């Protein structure tokens, strides 16, 4: 302001001295004024002219100074507006060291700090959402009014939630009074909830009260939902497997133990030989059962991929045919093969592939009456190999098909045991198919026969 006022004062002083100098010379005031009235008139006229020119100069200076002040303020306002709209990289160019320059410098510093803060918040937000979106567990956060603040995709999928959920009342989105009860009484102990819908789900829900770190006030409740349906199913399968193994092992062991004890008191050779034959049959059955259990365990735990190689299916199918031909002839069953002319290859374990086909052909022969037929077919299907094992046997009713590949599941338990079956053959087949990244399908009709179809991806040279 000093630099602004000083030119005005200086102008006024110089102008008035100049006007006074003109009056002194005009009227020769150094001696005596002859015409007093004219002097007064001229003095007033020059005074008014001095005031007028001073006013004009002052206005020019004010306008110049206002522009000098307003332009930086306009730039400051425009930049502030752009920053408010999200353009945090914008800055004000300033060159003066006055108050406006200091204000611009402070504003630029504030904008830099704001940009850093916003970037940091966005980075943390992106990391948080990335973590929540990649979680298998559901996460829901509600405020003190029970309005949804945050819900991740896993929680939406678990509760089949669709559409916008933010700021909506929790019971409008998830209509379950048990969730409302958990929010009302938060407890970090997991609570098990069974959801009934298209498919039954077993959930473990943990409700955690969330407080503000600064004030300590409760700001909401966090729900963490863990879907334990598969874990429970696996636990049930494990329990059933242990029970089935115990039962399957106990039956032949009981027979062996009973007949072995009876042999102590049998003197008749024919009876003794009969008992020994029974013990041998039961021991063979026990051996097959143990071998199948060990095979299943290896398939689940051993990495067979290290032994994978290029396997010719035509050769393997032909070898299986010759292996099983003698068994089929003993039972008077016709075994036929239809192999593809083109050589088909897969990437896998040769021995496991042959074991898979032998298990299927062996089952087909076992459950096909005399004079029946068993067909073994290999063909190319799109970019896959299609293997078909079809028989004209007793068939399987539709209700048993979904559980056919379960361990120890038998359609006819008495008939299966009498034929030497362990109940694990098809479970082994299923594991091998999955190991080769293939699919297996079964189609059957009672008293007409059963068809097993295996689709395996062909080997591609890369």
Please state which of the four CATH numbers 3.30.70.1060, 3.40.605.10, 3.40.640.10, 3.30.450.20 is assigned to the domain occupying 137-227. 3.30.450.20
> Residue 212 — φ and ψ, nearest 5°?
-75, 130
Q: Provide the mean pLDDT of the chain.
A: 78
Three-state DSSP state, 166 = coil
- CA contacts within 13 A on the Cβ side of 169: 7
| Contacts of 304 by beta carbon, 8 Å cutoff, 6+ apart | 349, 352, 435
Eight-state DSSP code of residue 420: T
Q: Which of 71-75, 131-135, 336-340 is least confident?
A: 71-75
The 10s digit of each residue's pLDDT in 183-221 is 888 877 888 888 777 777 888 888 888 888 777 788 888
Domain ranges of the chain: 1-134, 137-227, 231-302, 304-462
What is the pLDDT, as a whole number, of residue 462?
A: 44
Give the integer Cα–Cα distance in Å for 156 and 153.
5
What is the pLDDT, as a whole number, of residue 103?
A: 75
Eight-state DSSP code of residue 447: T
pLDDT at residue 361 tops 80 = yes
pLDDT at residue 427 tops 50 = yes
Band of the pLDDT at 173, cuts 50, 70, 90? confident
The 10s digit of each residue's pLDDT in 259-276 is 787 777 777 778 778 878
The 10s digit of each residue's pLDDT in 89-115 is 777 776 566 677 777 778 778 888 888
Question: 186: closest CA among 162, 160, 214, 219?
Answer: 219
Q: Which residues pair with 140 in a beta bridge?
A: 151, 223
Give the integer Cα–Cα distance in Å for 425 and 409.
10
pLDDT at residue 28 tops 70 = no
What is the pLDDT, as a whole number, of residue 375?
A: 92
Helix H or strand E segment including 294: helix 269-301
Check if the beta carbon of residue 207 is closer than 8 Å to that of residue 139.
no
The 10s digit of each residue's pLDDT in 385-421 is 999 999 998 888 888 888 877 776 666 654 455 555 5
What is the pLDDT, as a whole number, of residue 454?
A: 92
Token reading at 257:
């133990």
CA angle 142, 146, 149 (to 5 degrees): 30
The 10s digit of each residue's pLDDT in 123-148 is 888 888 888 788 888 888 888 888 88
The yes/no answer on whether domain 231-302 falls in CATH 2.70.150.10 is no
**CATH placement of domain 304-462:** 3.30.565.10
Give the integer Cα–Cα distance in Å for 429 and 423.
12
Eight-state DSSP code of residue 458: P
Give the integer Cα–Cα distance in Å for 162 and 173.
9
Indicate if 304-462 has the same CATH topology as 137-227.
no
Q: Which residues pair with 452 in a beta bridge?
A: 389, 442
For tokens 């097959």, the residue is: 288
> Residue 312 — φ and ψ, nearest 5°?
-85, 115
| Contacts of 359 by beta carbon, 8 Å cutoff, 6+ apart | 425, 426, 428, 429
For range 348-361, the mean pLDDT: 87
């Amino acid at each position: 302001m000093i630099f602004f006022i000083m030119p005005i004062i200086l102008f006024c002083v110089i102008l008035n001295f100049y006007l006074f100098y003109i009056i002194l010379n005009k009227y020769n005031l150094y001696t005596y004024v002859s015409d007093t009235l004219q002097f007064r008139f001229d003095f007033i006229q020059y005074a008014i002219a001095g005031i007028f020119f001073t006013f004009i100069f002052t206005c020019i200076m004010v306008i110049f100074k206002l522009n000098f002040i307003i332009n930086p303020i306009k730039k400051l306002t425009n930049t502030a507006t752009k920053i408010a709209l999200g353009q945090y990289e914008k800055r004000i160019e300033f060159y003066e060291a006055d108050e406006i320059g200091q204000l611009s410098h402070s504003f630029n510093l504030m904008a830099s700090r704001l940009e850093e803060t916003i970037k940091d918040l966005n980075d943390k937000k992106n990391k948080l959402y990335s973590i929540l979106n990649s979680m298998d567990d559901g996460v829901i956060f509600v405020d003190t009014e029970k309005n949804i603040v945050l819900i991740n995709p896993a929680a939406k999928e678990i509760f089949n939630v669709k559409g916008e959920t933010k700021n909506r009342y929790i019971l409008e989105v998830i209509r379950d009074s048990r969730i409302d009860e958990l929010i009302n009484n938060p407890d970090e102990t997991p609570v098990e909830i069974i959801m009934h819908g298209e498919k039954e789900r077993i959930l473990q829900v943990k409700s955690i009260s969330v407080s503000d770190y600064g004030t300590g006030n409760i700001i909401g409740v966090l729900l963490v939902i863990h879907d334990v349906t598969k874990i429970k199913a696996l636990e049930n399968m494990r329990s059933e497997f242990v029970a089935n193994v115990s039962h399957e092992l106990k039956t032949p062991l009981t027979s062996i133990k009973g007949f072995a004890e009876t042999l102590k008191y049998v003197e008749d050779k024919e009876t003794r030989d009969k008992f020994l034959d029974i013990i041998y049959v039961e021991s063979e059955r026990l051996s097959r059962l143990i071998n199948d259990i060990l095979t299943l365990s290896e398939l689940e735990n051993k990495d067979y991929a290290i032994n994978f190689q290029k396997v010719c299916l035509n050769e393997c199918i032909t070898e299986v045919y010759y292996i099983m031909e003698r068994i089929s002839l003993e039972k008077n069953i016709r075994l036929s093969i239809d192999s593809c002319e083109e050589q088909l290859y897969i990437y896998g374990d040769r021995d496991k592939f042959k074991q898979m086909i032998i298990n299927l052909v062996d089952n087909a022969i076992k459950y096909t009456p005399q004079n029946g037929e068993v067909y073994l077919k290999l063909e190319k299907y799109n970019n896959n190999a299609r293997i078909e094992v079809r028989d004209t046997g007793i068939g399987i009713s539709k209700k048993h098909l979904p559980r056919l590949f379960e361990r120890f599941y038998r359609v006819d338990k008495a008939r299966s045991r009498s034929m030497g079956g362990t109940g694990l053959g098809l479970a082994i087949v299923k594991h091998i198919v999955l190991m080769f990244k293939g699919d297996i399908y079964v189609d059957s009709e009672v008293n007409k026969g059963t068809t097993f179809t295996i689709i395996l991806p062909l080997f591609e040279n890369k």
